[in-house]
Chains A and B, each alone.
Chain A
């Protein structure tokens, strides 16, 4: 169902990677322009408010630095998301250690956006954000990867380190919770 690249369309990610390896730096530009917006959106959905561009850049630098480890059996985008997610979690853990802040553990319900509640809750967009941000972190990741990026459950499971079935359950539970938050 998802879009596939056809011969007359833009070059595939794998073709661009091969070109970059052969020395074509324009291929890297195309890859960055293709995936950077999604990575930036994913970073925001993971709660990254500042340094989004830095996170996206670090993701690409790390990915291109270890491009030999990329296996074509998964999409490049999925691989990039996996790298970015790990980066963000590492940065968050490091920041938490620095602040000696133990308020949010991985897997806990999201509370990191509470400070913004009063500011944005009155607007429609704000209510949606609030509804999503009240999900558990894993639910939120799965839900936004599905809605924002159109990823399959299999791809999502790869990114968040879960199973396809668990990703499906997380998505539907998240959707129900968001609906209830908005309309009930």
Chain B
């Protein structure tokens, strides 16, 4: 049992058996097989193999009947349109939120710098600022001893609702109108500094050295 040394011809034998060669290649292989007993023997083996695994009959009509129907015309179009409308709606909502939010901030800042003394009733310093000269820094610590919770100057329920983060130093529950212009300026400056401060704790600078301290604010 020897193999033909003509690798190219040997590699074409299975394709000859399967009937996948074009006419010119088939003619070349046929000519080689006539002159090569090894390839003739191998070709016979391959034909035996193909014959032993003949395709069983299948009912192609039944298969076609079971196939899904192609999506054509309006059905194919409407399958895409709802998603597009959904994306459009979300985009519009996001743009609206950004616009309204930006306008609100701009209005608040302009009112805060207004020298005419128009009262600001939408932004207030957190009511934790105690009387008696103690200062509150941006990290929420009360300078001059003690913490905010030990001031005892506000109801406990109100204290419990207050957020603990530095940004929570501001609330929107009124009272800014009672502040003087210098305090409002300091407050807005603190707001700007907080917005500029990095979010990641590892890169966050010491706020006590960056943010101004509000002192002697009477509520």
Contacts and interface: CB of A to CB of B under 8 A. Distances in A.
Contacts of B60: 29, 32-33, 36
A69 B109 CA distance: 54
Contacts of A40: 55-58
Interface residues of A, number: 50
Given A1-B25, A3-B21, A36 B56 contact: no
A21 B60 CA distance: 19
Nearest to A49: B56
A182 B55 contact: no
A37 B52 contact: no
Contacts of B46: 147
Interface in A152-177: 171, 175
Interface in B54-68: 54-64, 66-68
B87 to A, nearest CB: 20
Interface string A29-57: 10011001110110011000000110011
B70 interface: yes
Secondary structure at the A interface, as helix, strand, loop or mixed, is helix
Given A41-B53, A183-B1, A2 B62 contact: no
B146 interface: no
Interface residues of B, number: 39
Given A29-B64, A36-B63, A61-B68, A124 B48 contact: yes
Contacts of A115: none
Contacts of A53: 56, 58-59, 62-63
B149 interface: no
B20 interface: yes
Contact of A125 (B1, B14, B48): B48
A150 B17 contact: yes
22 contacts: A4-B22, A29-B60, A40-B56, A44-B53, A52-B56, A52-B58, A53-B58, A57-B63, A61-B66, A64-B68, A128-B48, A128-B49, A129-B53, A144-B53, A147-B17, A147-B49, A147-B50, A148-B18, A150-B17, A150-B20, A179-B1, A179-B42
B102 interface: no
A22 interface: yes
A64 B67 CA distance: 7
A116 to B, nearest CB: 12
